Structure 1
Amino acid sequence: MKARHREGDGYGDEPSNPSTRDYAVKSLQQAGAAPVTEAGDAAGRTISRSVTATQAVNR
């Protein structure tokens, strides 16, 4: 069961105003960014690689 929070306090799964996410996605696309999921995946892979490299150095 999910905890319930007040609308607009930043803890919901989705923004209380659904157009907020659409606006953010549209802004990123206009700025020439990749779709949000691809950008997030790429960032995650980059972070994973840098963490792995750091661990290798520290061994």
Structure 2
Amino acid sequence: MDFDTISFFYGLGYLDPKIEWYTEHGFINSDQYKQITGKDYVAPTTQSTTTQATTTSTTN
């Protein structure tokens, strides 16, 4: 898809997958995203959580 097609379908509310997908996969750039949506594009972040087990021992 190109910018005009994505913009057209977004305007109709028929864009699937979400418009962010088209930006993430290079069909449109962040400037075009803003032009279509009126919002700045924020790239998704990958968060990894690390859980560290803590062992406490008490000596009586």
TM-score tier after normalising by the smaller chain length: under 0.3
- In the superposition, the TM-score normalised over structure 1's length comes to 0.25
Larger radius of gyration: 2
Relative to total residues, which structure has the larger helix share, 1 or 2? 1
- In the superposition, the TM-score normalised over structure 2's length comes to 0.25
Higher RCO, 1 or 2 (CA under 8 Å, sep at least 6)? 2
